Amino acid sequence: MLGEYYDFPQGTMAIGRLDENSEGLLLLTTNGKVSEAIRSKKVEKEYYVQVQGEITKDAIAELASGVEIGLNGMKYRTLPCKVMKINHPNHLPLENRKIHNEDHGPSSWISITLREGKFRQVRKMTYAMGFPTLRLVRYRVDDICLDLPVRSVQELFNL
């Protein structure tokens, strides 16, 4: 599927995953050690999340301190993370698609920065707080930010 957008070198792999309903920054590499280092808990990943409803200060504080989610049929408490309410990220090169109709009530945007990445973690976290995720955008990995047009590729460095 990646080959549809660009002629990538043999052995190119995605670092981390974006599910089908998510969008944003996707880093690629041919180096497994680089992939492992970026997926480690040493590297921050920041997501912009549109949630259903007007998120509360209490929900933001609880998300930041860690919430209980389901993971592989077990209960899991997420690690503390950074969470803050943000304005609609108009500056981002987001897919041009309408996710939420105001007839369905208000929505709000938050930034969640974490160092772990469990399966659908951000979606599970906001749902556990009563604010289902409507849109999920990976904005930043470490100091690399999303600032390219949709479906574009930029080589950052060649090891």
Helix (H) or strand (E) holding 152: none
State both tokens at 130: 């009563």
3-state secondary structure 75-141: EEECCCCEEEEECCCCCCCCCCCCCCCHHHCCEEEEEEEECCCCCCHHHHHHHHCCCCEEEEEEEEE
Q: Which of 7, 19, 58, 103 is catalytic?
A: 19
**In the annotation, is 19 catalytic?**
yes
Residues serving a catalytic function are 19
